[in-house]
A and B are shown apart, each in its own frame.
Chain A
Amino acid sequence: MTTLLSRFSNEVPGVRGTDERVDKVAYARDLWPRHHLAIRSGAGASGPNEPGAIVWPESTEDVQRIVAFCNKTGTKLVPFGAGSGVCGGVLPGRDVLILDMKRMAKLVSIDRSAPTLTVEPGYMGLPLEDELGRQGYTLGHFPSSIVCSTIGGWIAGRSAGQCSGKYGKIEDMVVSIECVTGKGERLTLARRGHGPSLLPLVIGSEGTLAVITQATMRLHPKPVARAFAAFAFSSTEAGWEGMRDLFQAGMRPAVARLYDPFDAMLARQGTVKAEKKAKGPGAAAPGMGGSVLRQILRVPSAMNAIIEGLGSQVFGGALLVLVFEGEGAECEAEAALARRRLEARGARYEGEGPARKWLAHRYSVSYRQAPVFASGAFSDTMEVAASWSKLGALYDGVRKALGKNVFVMAHFSHAYPDGCCIYFSFAGSAPPGTKDGSWDEASEAVYDRTWQAALGAAVDAGATLAHHHGVGRSKAPKLAAELGSTGISTAKAVKRAFDPNGILNPGALFPPIAPDPYTKRAGTGPESLATDGGAS
């Protein structure tokens, strides 16, 4: 029997590939929590999503040959970085070829006069930043996934890092990219001061328009000094008003993170707990803690109401953590100025401790999800954004929509002069009365209903559905509610121009109209209009 890999190897010799089962299982998904639920229930075990083969190009010419093969044979192609996405941007099928970019990971050059970096897309985040640091620079991009994500993935997903307050998001860092379109053309798209630039179409296109094969990025001098500060506010709203004041006054803390009261309590204490647990045997196992968690999460609305009622008195109020960084004493001056402005608004200075603690544990949060799923519960996050004047309606609307079914908390970690991102974290489980045999199915229904309601609330509040996680499959069903029918038809026209045969990452961004197992149960089918993976 001719396999996809054998046919590929015959027609594209010299490119390494595999169709070993262990590899296919590893590449069958990203880190979308909804898919974790399907895996747990057994219904979505990786079988249907195992790709036909995985291939590793080593040059732009290889990518062009692979795209040509896919166009010729009608094979779908899914570009793959490190698989850290959380929205189902990667969910292949048996006839799909995975294009793993990690063997294209060369640091091509550093131009010290600009300064800029030219790099291949498969370079992993943390080693890249370490290398830049040795040469006296920083990209300024520190997503919590930095240990398990690539620069190509950051660009494809329009990623944001923890220091966005000073350095912006990834789209603010890209100077130019080289890419291979779905049609097979090799293109260089550059940022232009004035005049047309197609670069913003490819940034954030989630592998549906082109394969990024090289990027030139803006660099900054590696900071040599940091200043830390933390402030308590009587309410979350008072906290975000403080953030707004700083950013509209032209201040640019690298890190500005506001936690609502319950999230603030975890931020103040959680890292200590994590350290204690890590010392004990079986710290991550779902033992009695898992059982308690399941019981608590069965009554999320009561938990939310209790926390809402206790509010600031018990939890110590909302917490704003600031980190300024730069080349010298100006950091301390900026921190002092921020303190004066925030104290004038009624904030209480909490010293440097919470900010220093946050920095020490900045990447730990990514590892707290597995025990929740293992206990029978689920957790996820939703990052939405709006202008400041709509932020209150967004916070209240999404919190209310989530809070009916799951336990919810929030923090605000990417602020700009005109608005802010709200990062909701939630956890839930099957409702009371669910029998053990139908536990997973009931959990999935709660998750789907909750997710769709929260997306709807975000759209109703005038927000954007995604600030930096992308759309993938998780937000695609509501994309038309944000973009409108013309927005969808426009994006699909762009898709056809780049990828006329619709070979690139089908199912992401533009879901097929056929029933989607991830939204069917919630009774909220796709609202966008594509029928063929987005190419029409």
Chain B
Amino acid sequence: MNRIEIDRTSLLVDVAADVTLDELESTLSREGCTLYLDGASTSATVGSWLAEGARGARSPYADPADHLLAGFEATNVATKEELFVRAAPRKSVGPDLVALVLGMRERFFVVRRATLRIFLYDATTVNLPFVAPVDADAGDAERALLTRIGEELARAT
């Protein structure tokens, strides 16, 4: 599999995690596409960018019918098992495991490949105003739960 695979029909790109955003954006631009990032550090790799919460990606509040991360492959940091979450526009198959990757700073999984939404340069942009909630710190109970999830994932085989 190539390090960058563009699915132009679906406006998705399947990309290896060690590709930098700069390299990815350059490849996309040659195809008339873009990630539509605003202010992201383009020297970051896709993997580290996702681990830090994908700063600069379009807010889902701007367009509820869209999303960023359609699927991914990742390695459990404790057990080294490979997790594959297939790309789909939306799903309803239990807990969304994207939560264990996005913004988690590789606490549980290290992303190997990601399937990301891309945009055509000439697409109409949809902007619905909304005051996004301020990111709240995790409380004690949530922090305890994060710890337990890590412990359980370490013995998940």
- CB within 8 Å of B: which residues of A? 113-114, 140, 157-160, 164-169, 171-173, 175-176, 181, 185-206, 208-209, 218, 220, 244, 247-252, 385-390, 414, 416-421, 462-471, 475, 479, 482-484, 486-487, 489-494, 496-498, 509
B139: chain A residues at CB < 8 Å are 187-188
Q: List 5 A-B contacts (CB under 8 A).
A: A189-B142, A193-B132, A196-B103, A204-B93, A467-B88
* A464 CB contact (under 8 Å) in B76, B81, B86, B153: B86
Asked if A185 contacts B144 (CB within 8 A), the reply is: yes
- For residue B37, CB closer than 8 A to chain A, the reply is no
Contact residues of B between 127 and 157, Cβ < 8 Å to A: 128, 130-133, 135-136, 138-139, 141-142, 144-146, 148-149, 151-153, 155-157
Query: Considering the chains assembled together, what is the distance between the CA atoms of A379 and B138 in angstroms?
Result: 46
Asked if A185 contacts B10 (CB within 8 A), the reply is: no
Query: Considering the chains assembled together, what is the distance between the CA atoms of A483 and B133 in angstroms?
Result: 32
Query: Considering the chains assembled together, what is the distance between the CA atoms of A414 and B89 in angstroms?
Result: 10
Chain A min CB distance to B142 (Å): 6
Asked if A493 contacts B153 (CB within 8 A), the reply is: yes
* B98 CB contact (under 8 Å) in A200, A250, A497: A200
* A218 CB contact (under 8 Å) in B53, B105, B130, B149: B130
Asked if A417 contacts B94 (CB within 8 A), the reply is: no
Asked if A421 contacts B135 (CB within 8 A), the reply is: no
A-contact 0/1 string along B5-24, CB 8 Å cutoff:
00101111000000000000
Asked if B66 contacts A416 (CB within 8 A), the reply is: yes
Chain A min CB distance to B152 (Å): 4
Asked if B83 contacts A194 (CB within 8 A), the reply is: no
Query: Considering the chains assembled together, what is the distance between the CA atoms of A71 and B86 in angstroms?
Result: 35
Chain B, residue nearest A468 (CB)? B92
Asked if A252 contacts B136 (CB within 8 A), the reply is: no
- For residue B104, CB closer than 8 A to chain A, the reply is yes
Chain A, residue nearest B108 (CB)? A490
Contact residues of B between 71 and 95, Cβ < 8 Å to A: 76, 81-95
Chain B min CB distance to A84 (Å): 14
A509: chain B residues at CB < 8 Å are 94
Asked if A197 contacts B99 (CB within 8 A), the reply is: yes
Chain B, residue nearest A218 (CB)? B130
* A496 CB contact (under 8 Å) in B52, B81, B152: B152
A-contact 0/1 string along B102-124, CB 8 Å cutoff:
11110100000000010010011
- CB within 8 Å of A: which residues of B? 7, 9-12, 52-55, 59-61, 63-67, 70, 76, 81-100, 102-105, 107, 117, 120, 123-126, 128, 130-133, 135-136, 138-139, 141-142, 144-146, 148-149, 151-153, 155-157
Asked if A467 contacts B152 (CB within 8 A), the reply is: no
Chain B, residue nearest A158 (CB)? B92
Query: Considering the chains assembled together, what is the distance between the CA atoms of A200 and B98 in angstroms?
Result: 8
A486: chain B residues at CB < 8 Å are 76, 81-84, 156
Chain B min CB distance to A28 (Å): 23
- Assuming the contacts A175-B133, A486-B81, A493-B156, asked whether A389 and B104 have C-beta atoms less than 8 A apart, the reply is no
Asked if A489 contacts B156 (CB within 8 A), the reply is: yes
Chain B min CB distance to A450 (Å): 20
Chain B min CB distance to A332 (Å): 16
Asked if B123 contacts A192 (CB within 8 A), the reply is: no
- Assuming the contacts A171-B96, A387-B10, A494-B152, asked whether A463 and B88 have C-beta atoms less than 8 A apart, the reply is yes
B98: chain A residues at CB < 8 Å are 200
Query: Considering the chains assembled together, what is the distance between the CA atoms of A173 and B88 in angstroms?
Result: 19
Query: Considering the chains assembled together, what is the distance between the CA atoms of A140 and B64 in angstroms?
Result: 11
A466: chain B residues at CB < 8 Å are 91-93
A491: chain B residues at CB < 8 Å are 94-95, 97
A479: chain B residues at CB < 8 Å are 93-94
- Assuming the contacts A181-B145, A248-B11, A416-B90, asked whether A201 and B95 have C-beta atoms less than 8 A apart, the reply is yes
Chain A, residue nearest B53 (CB)? A194
- Assuming the contacts A164-B65, A187-B139, A194-B55, asked whether A204 and B94 have C-beta atoms less than 8 A apart, the reply is yes
Asked if A248 contacts B120 (CB within 8 A), the reply is: yes
Chain A, residue nearest B71 (CB)? A387
B99: chain A residues at CB < 8 Å are 196-201
Chain A, residue nearest B55 (CB)? A194
Closest 8 CB pairs of A and B: A168-B64, A194-B53, A250-B124, A419-B89, A200-B96, A493-B156, A493-B152, A387-B10
* A494 CB contact (under 8 Å) in B95, B107, B117, B130: B95
Asked if B88 contacts A419 (CB within 8 A), the reply is: yes
